[in-house]
Amino acid sequence: MSGNPYQDGRGNKDLSITRPGGTGSAEPEHGDRAPGPRVEGMPFLIGDAMTGGYGTGADILHDCTIAVDKGQIAVIVGPNGAGKSTAMKAVFGMLNVRKGAVRLDGEDITHLTPQARVAKGMAFVPQTSNIFTSMTVEENLEMGAFLRRDNIQRTIDLIYDLFPILRDKRRQLAGELSGGQRQQVAVGRALMTEPQVLMLDEPTAGVSPIVMDELFDRIIEVARTGISILMVEQNARQALSIADKGYVLVQGANRYTDTGAALLADPDVRKSFLGG
């Protein structure tokens, strides 16, 4: 095995990361649960029975549960307006969770700010406005390490190994890059925090199918270093093919929850959400 943990020669054609089986059934109903200590078998990160919305507005999430284990990939899919990005933002502390709880490694973080969650080991890559266009590629990566006080060069080198094109363009302004290269910069900058959880909001939006496959390859490699990946994705079929766990949301609530392989095989899911 290579000394670089991001390079193991495996990509999204290797479906061993998925775990077949399961029923494709909907997530069971939950009541409003009080936070508690982590117990054996509890996911590393969980937004448990979340109900809430933005500011004082109406609830967008309704008893919604999203979770991911260490080193696994969890994907949130569903129709437009289903609350996918909202669910991820709730887990990251960007909206009010009025009921339910968010726990990281057993710790209740429901009321922590997004900045405090970054310090706890969470990194979030929004869909848009996710790079500093007037800075070089390398300056963007350095900005991602603003909380660190150690030597960051090894991490930069690992990211260049993960995304070789970024090494070639490290002195180029990020705003001059293609859409796919910008996404690589955004993911690389998030990885500079050395996160335990990497959250991606539609990372393949607007990129070509070839670039999408390359990004999914890299996401798998990151997960195999032990980082948990929570991802919202419109390209549902492709995303579920690399997912350990999949969540189908409709109107802010869980409709189906199962392994990615099981959801892909579920005829109801395929007919309603995957185009048959």
Burial call 15-53: b when 16+ CB within 10 Å, e when fewer: eebbbeebebeebeebeeeeeeeeeeebbbbbbbbbbbb
**Cross-strand pairs, 135:** none
Please report the domains of the chain, with CATH numbers, ordered by start residue: 44-121+232-258 (3.40.50.300)
Which of residues 176 and 34 earns the better pLDDT score? 176
pTM score, whole prediction: 0.83
Q: Which residues contact 274 (CB under 8 A, 6 or more apart)?
A: 236, 237, 240, 264
**pLDDT at 39 (0 to 100):** 57
Query: What's the whole-number average pLDDT of the chain?
Result: 87
Record the tokens describing residue 226, joined without a space.
């032990």
Percent of the chain whose predicted confidence (pLDDT) is above 70? 85
Which of residues 159 and 33 earns the better pLDDT score? 159
**Cross-strand pairs, 173:** 136
pLDDT tens digit sequence for 239-270: 999 999 999 999 999 999 999 999 999 999 99
**pLDDT at 227 (0 to 100):** 97
**pLDDT at 249 (0 to 100):** 97
Q: 206: pLDDT confidence band, cut at 50, 70 and 90?
A: confident
